Amino acid sequence: MQNQNAEKAETQPEETGRPAKTTLSARSLSKVYGSGALAIRALDNVDFDLYEGELVVLLGASGSGKSTLLNIIGGLDRPTSGKVFFDGTEITAFDDSALTRYRRDHVGFVFQFYNLVPSLTAEENVALVTEIAADPMSPADALRLVGLGGRLTHFPAQLSGGEQQRVAIARAIAKRPRVLLCDEPTGALDSQTGVIVLEAVERINRELGTTTALITHNVGIAAMADRVIRLADGAIQDVSVNTDKIAASEIRW
Amino acid sequence: MHPLDRKLLRDLWHLKGQVLAIAVVIATGVGVMVQSLGAIQSLQATADAYYERYRFADVFCHLKRAPKSLVPRLADIPGVQTVEPRIVEYATLDIAGFEEPATALLSSLPERGKPLLNQLALQSGRLVDLAKPEEVVVNEKFAAAQDLTLGDTVQAVINTQKRTLRIVGIALSPEHTYAIGPGALMPDDKRYAIFWMGERALAGAFDLDGAFNDVTLTLLPHTPPEGVIQRLDRILAPYGGSGAYARKDQISNWFLMSEIDQLATMARLLPSIFLIVAAFLTNMVVDRLIATERGVIGLLKAFGYSDLEVGWHYMKLVMVIALIGVVLGSFLGAGLGQWTTSIYAQMYSFPFLLFRPLPDSFLIAGGLSLLAAMVGTASAVRRAVRLAPAEAMRPPAPPSFSRSYLAQTGLARLLDQPTRMIFRQVFRWPLRSGLTVIGIGMSVAVLIMALQWIDSINRLIDVYFVAAQRQDVTVSLTEVRPPSVMRDFENLPGVLAVEGQRNLDVRAHLGPRNKRMQISGLPARQGLYLVYDDAGGAIDLPPDGLVISTKLAEILGAKTGDRIELEVLEGQRPIVEVPVVRVFNTFIGYPAYMRLEAINRMMHETNVVNTVHLRIDPNQQAALFARLKDMPHVSSVTLRQAAIDIFNETMAKTVLVFVGMFAGFASALAIGVVYNSARIALSERGRELATLRVIGFTRFEISYILLGQSLLLTVMALPVGCLIGNWLALGMAKSFDTELYRIPAVIEPSSFGYAMLVTLAAAAISALMVRRRLDRLDLIAVLKTRE
Ligand SMILES: Nc1ncnc2c1ncn2[C@@H]1O[C@H](COP(=O)(O)OP(=O)(O)O)[C@@H](O)[C@H]1O
Ligand SMILES: [Mg+2]
């Protein structure tokens, strides 16, 4: 999937006019849960692109399909129909083991509830990922990147929510993924702690150039994005380019 | 170390109580398996080496009298390697300070000195000096039981003469590793001795100069004994041969081998129970762990861990638990094995003991345990592997409860809210509850299986020694005597009643089958020694025809009405056909009875007997015994009470120990299952219970909700356990069906009671251990953490 092919150029949308290349693109994505009368259309014919190095915020009410979209492009879930390309390779055609490789090599996840392994220290939680990565940074370096250089040997129970989430970010980026996918990373945090977490995400995006998609239902957070994509009822409502993007540290809610 | 391995170790530590509980169950299974396999290997190796080194014979035959010149003809039988003629007789002993008469088996040592076959393992002293007819070598057990040492003397009535014998050696023999007297069920070392004497001395006493009355042979390797036995019988028939038999029918060896068989049954059945329960427990714990780790599993997959890696992680956990059990069990098994082997060493007389638990018994036990645990958890692990990562990240949907059938009955209204919660919980997971019930039930079952032995043996004693036997003393005579001998016994002091019996050695033929056996002639209606059906009671003998035991009927394939051909192996050796008139049931041996007159008619003799049963006045016992010790023509004296005492003593020494061991095993099972199910319930319902505490339930009430569930499951397990136990115990008893004895299938109500009590106690202990955790339930912490 490393090989670049011609398809990539075509999937680059014209309207932004940016010279960036597409890292991830989704075409006509639909996801239906259940069947018959009970069927829920979580995604309805969605087209979506993520460009190299950008930070995109996915905005939408609860239940609008944000997590479903993120899970599908991250290779955690499969669409009912439609295709997803990573660097021009169709990952929706992958079998389970190829999908696993895709996640292992290229994707970093951050979830709302941190999902740290409670029986492992901060450093060990990060090591969980660096152990299986091809070219990881050291767990300590990853934790320093999120400002937790001094908490290596703490267990999750000994860390605050914001700190746990930053461990989760360190864990997601330690393998130097191409894409960082964050599903409501501040959802369980107060504004002050949330900002610290967002600063970490911003720093990763800026310093490592990691293509980042961040889900939130908090409109304020959209200000730190390069682009903002709004979802409603499983469809993309609009896409806007932030011309006056602000630093995460200036966000308040 | 890989962080996942570190997680594994910490998870194990966190679950240590449960891990230990499972490990103990596995350890018990492994322990029993290593113990039994180890004991089997040790016994077998010891017996093999002993038999080989001391040249235990392959074929045995007793006869009346044959000249030694016949020996070369026996040696010429194809397949025969060595032939050793000898003289074997019984004698009554009078031991200083011991009121009762004892019996000795006298066996001759050849003129050359050392026997060719069945050599003695001298423990002290020396073999006899052939020039000194008073010298004897005695078996070690008897010397120990009677506290006799080298140089001590014993009075014996040998044939008709009273002699004083001096002990010059103490020895063991491969022929008498289990020294059991004629007609006895267990060795009685005080009253039954083996005496080895010079051949000349015995020949003189029994008028067998230049002759022999017993012969043993070894065969060339790979020679089946059947052909040799046939030729031997043909050659020895004119000399009063009473039928040759192979080593496998030799009584001491038979007991030893059936002990090994029994161990093999133990080695199969018990560990299977424990390993199955362990597999279920491991499954329960791993299933729960995987449920709490849904998030972690999803996460690992999200980060690119493959299904294989995730599955392997949990399998490793299972393997570590099983390995802890295997290691504990190996030590337990080695200890138990050494201990049981030493018990066998006391029971059987071996000159040496090879305790050799081969590594393969550990490997087999360990491998099977690992396999059981892995198979048991395969479904839980597969579920973890199958979990789609996106699915795993979401908390599981709350379990759906429904108003059950139970709730709609009037019963539900009688129950308070906490009790209803208990019932719902139990019936919400019927499979898990069912397996828990069976697991606890197994504990009851294992105990019943152990206690049943006591009940069965008590029943055996009751039927065989109490209901069927009313005599106090049985005297066997060296040969058939005229009816006047009965009067001689009547005139002895303290004799209240006398009944004569005639035993006849025959080979019975029916169709292609034949069996060397004894027929006993008794009066029509017996007063002392009864022909007794263990279901229907005493049986009157018909004027003619055979009354045979079901075991003999089975051996010969005979039924009522069949005509059995009897080839008599004594006297004129007539061949006659006798019909089977009735078949009856007995636990001991494979007897066949006829009316005394009918036997004597068949033999053209008048009312002769060779065994006499006596009922005596206990106050005159001493005087009677003193006379019996001096009586000529007496071959052995058996006391009914002594046989019962020996039975009870042996029971107390071995069976009770065995029952105690089983009680330990059963408790391990009950604790393992109850503790784990309560801990899992606590883990699943911690939040719920904490919430109840927050809204005002008392500690006692939440303990009741949680432990009431364990109690309910335990109570449900009791009848289930009784059923399984009943089935297993009766199956075990039935599988113990040999020519020598059957175990009556009886379980007394008290055994069910004890079994249930022990299980309840073990369950209560484990519930209390969990209750301590419940008291320390940290309300805030439980509510704060996301499941
Ligand atoms: N496993 C599932 N089964 C059924 N419906 C689901 C499942 N997952 C999500 N949904 C439904 O799909 C819709 C979109 O969900 P989701 O993508 O989680 O929304 P968001 O993340 O924007 O809150 C919702 O209506 C949700 O109820
Ligand atoms: Mg969501």
SS3 state of residue B480? strand
Q: What pTM did the predictor assign?
A: 0.78
Other C-beta atoms closer than 10 Å to the C-beta of B299 total 25
Residue B394's nearest CA partner among A233, A112, A116 is A112
What is the layout of strands, in order, in the sheet containing A81-86?
A: A40-51, A22-33, A81-86, A89-90
Element (H, E) at B52: helix B16-53
Six-digit token string for B311? 């599955």
Average per-residue pLDDT in chain B? 88
Six-digit token string for A170? 């360190």
Lowest average pLDDT, out of B303-312, B467-476, B693-702, B777-786, goes to B777-786
pLDDT in tens, B237-266: 999 998 899 999 899 998 899 888 888 887
Q: If interface means Cβ-Cβ distance under 8 Å, which residues of chain B face chain A? A: 2-4, 6-7, 10-11, 14, 295-296, 298-307, 309, 388-390, 393, 786
- Whether residue B524 sits in one domain with residue B429: no
Complex ipTM, two decimals?
0.72
- Whether residue B553 sits in one domain with residue B435: no
pLDDT of residue A45: 93
In sign, the C-alpha dihedral spanning B180, B186, B187, B188 is negative
Q: How far is B303 from chain A (nearest CA, A)?
A: 5
pLDDT of residue B669: 86
**Which mutation among A31, A48, A68 tests ligand 1's pocket best, with the greatest number of atoms within 8 A of CB?**
A68
Q: Do A115 and B390 touch (CB under 8 A)?
A: no
pLDDT in tens, B185-212: 888 999 999 999 999 999 999 999 999 9
Beta bridge partners, B86, equal B214
- Whether residue B736 sits in one domain with residue B587: no
Q: Is residue B283 part of a domain?
A: no
- Place B479 in a pLDDT band, splitting at 50, 70 and 90: confident
Residue that is written with structure tokens 């898990």 in the block: B432
Domain boundary among B254, B276, B309: B254
Cα within 13 Å of Cα(B461), Cβ side: 18
CATH code of the domain covering residue B571: 2.40.70
Q: What percent of chain B has pLDDT over 70?
A: 95
- Whether residue B573 sits in one domain with residue B658: no
Q: Is residue B541 part of a domain?
A: yes
Phi and psi, residue A25, nearest 5°:
-145, 140
Phi and psi, residue B688, nearest 5°:
-60, -45
Q: What is the CA radius of gyration of chain B?
A: 33
Six-digit token string for B107? 């066996």
pLDDT of residue B399: 55
pLDDT at B53 over 90: yes
Q: Is residue B380 part of a domain?
A: no
- Place B280 in a pLDDT band, splitting at 50, 70 and 90: confident
pLDDT of residue B787: 41
Q: How far apart are CA B325 and CA B257, in angstroms?
A: 31
- Whether residue B588 sits in one domain with residue B460: no
**Which mutation among A33, A38, A184 tests ligand 1's pocket best, with the greatest number of atoms within 8 A of CB?**
A33
- Place B780 in a pLDDT band, splitting at 50, 70 and 90: low
Q: How far apart are CA A194 and CA A199, in angstroms?
A: 9
Q: How far apart are CA B676 and CA B674, in angstroms?
A: 5
pLDDT of residue B541: 94
Q: Do B393 and A105 touch (CB under 8 A)?
A: no
Q: Do B3 and A111 touch (CB under 8 A)?
A: no
Strand extents, DSSP E, A87-204:
89-90, 107-110, 179-183
Domain boundary among B616, B649, B669: B616
pLDDT at B77 over 80: yes
Amino acid at B352: F
Catalogue all structural domains in chain A, each as residue range(s) with its CATH number.
4-250 (3.40.50.300)
- Whether residue B450 sits in one domain with residue B570: no
Residues of chain A with pLDDT under 70: 1-19
Phi and psi, residue B641, nearest 5°:
-60, -40
Tell me the CA–centroid distance for residue B262 and ligand 2, in Å.
Answer: 64
pLDDT in tens, B88-109: 999 999 998 898 899 999 999 9
pLDDT at B320 over 60: yes
Question: What domain range includes position B698?
Answer: 414-472+639-787
- Whether residue B231 sits in one domain with residue B137: yes
- Whether residue B220 sits in one domain with residue B108: yes
pLDDT at B327 over 90: yes
Q: What percent of chain B has pLDDT over 90?
A: 48
- Whether residue B191 sits in one domain with residue B111: yes
Which protein residue has the closest C-alpha to ligand 1 atom 13? A42
CB B509 within 8 A of CB B555: no
SS3 state of residue A99? helix
Q: How far apart are CA B196 and CA B167, in angstroms?
A: 10
pLDDT in tens, B531-542: 999 888 899 999
Six-digit token string for B52? 């080989």
pLDDT of residue A80: 94
- Whether residue B585 sits in one domain with residue B540: yes
Which protein residue has the closest C-alpha to ligand 1 atom 11? A42
CB B465 within 8 A of CB B647: yes
Q: Which residues, 6 or more positions from B497, have their beta carbon under 8 angstroms from its beta carbon?
A: B527, B528, B614, B615
Q: Do A109 and B302 touch (CB under 8 A)?
A: yes
Residue that is written with structure tokens 């950008």 in the block: A54
> Which of A97, A128, A171 shows the shortest C-beta gap to B4?
A128
Amino acid at B180: I
Which protein residue has the closest C-alpha to ligand 1 atom 16? A65
pLDDT of residue A13: 45
Q: Is residue B119 part of a domain?
A: yes
Helix axes B430-460, B251-292, angle to 10 degrees: 160
Q: How far apart are CA B210 and CA B195, in angstroms?
A: 21
> Which of B3, B10, B14 shows the shortest C-beta gap to A128?
B3
The mean per-residue pLDDT over the stretch B554-561 comes to 94
How many structural domains is chain B composed of?
3
Cα within 13 Å of Cα(B444), Cβ side: 30
Amino acid at B360: D
Q: Is residue B372 part of a domain?
A: no
Q: How far apart are CA B522 and CA A67, in angstroms?
A: 95
Helix axes B749-775, B699-735, angle to 10 degrees: 150
Six-digit token string for B4? 């996942």
pLDDT at B143 over 90: yes
> Which of B296, B306, B309 shows the shortest C-beta gap to A117?
B296
Q: Is residue B276 part of a domain?
A: no
B490 versus B772: the higher-pLDDT residue is B490
pLDDT of residue B681: 85
Q: How far apart are CA B777 and CA B685, in angstroms?
A: 11
Report DSSP letters for B599-621, one per residue. HHHHTT-SS-EEEEEEEE-GGGH
B557 versus B357: the higher-pLDDT residue is B557
CB B610 within 8 A of CB B479: yes
pLDDT of residue B276: 86
Q: Is residue B461 part of a domain?
A: yes
Q: Which residues, 6 or more positions from A68, have their beta carbon under 8 angstroms from its beta carbon?
A: A31, A42, A43, A77, A234
pLDDT of residue B394: 64
Which protein residue has the closest C-alpha to ligand 1 atom 3? A33
pLDDT of residue B408: 55
Domain boundary among B254, B271, B294: B254
In sign, the C-alpha dihedral spanning B462, B464, B470, B472 is negative
pLDDT in tens, B164-183: 999 999 999 999 999 988 87
Report DSSP letters for B518-581, one per residue. EEEEE-SS-SSB--EETTTEE-PPPSSSEEEEHHHHHHHT--TTPEEEEEE-STT--EEEEEEE
Q: How far apart are CA B361 and CA B34, in angstroms?
A: 6
Helix H segments across B104-210? 140-145, 199-206
- Whether residue B428 sits in one domain with residue B556: no
A132, A165, A215: best mutation site toward chain B, by most B Cβ within 10 Å? A132
Which residues form the pocket of ligand 1, taking CB atoms under 6 Å from any ligand atom? A 33-34, 40, 42, 60, 62-68
Find, in chain A, the residue whose alpha carbon is nearest to that of B781. A157
Q: Is residue B722 part of a domain?
A: yes
Q: Which residues, 6 or more positions from B228, have their beta carbon under 8 angstroms from its beta carbon?
A: B59, B77, B78, B79, B80, B217, B219, B244
SS3 state of residue B786? coil
Q: How far apart are CA B602 and CA B598, in angstroms?
A: 6
Distance of CA B273 to the CA centre of its chain: 18
pLDDT of residue B163: 92
Exposure string of A40-56, with b = 16+ CB inside 10 Å and e = fewer, is ebbbeebebbbbbbbbb
- Whether residue B540 sits in one domain with residue B426: no
3-state helix, strand, coil in chain A (%, to 5): 35, 25, 40
Q: Which atom of ligand 1 is nearest to the CA of A184?
A: 21
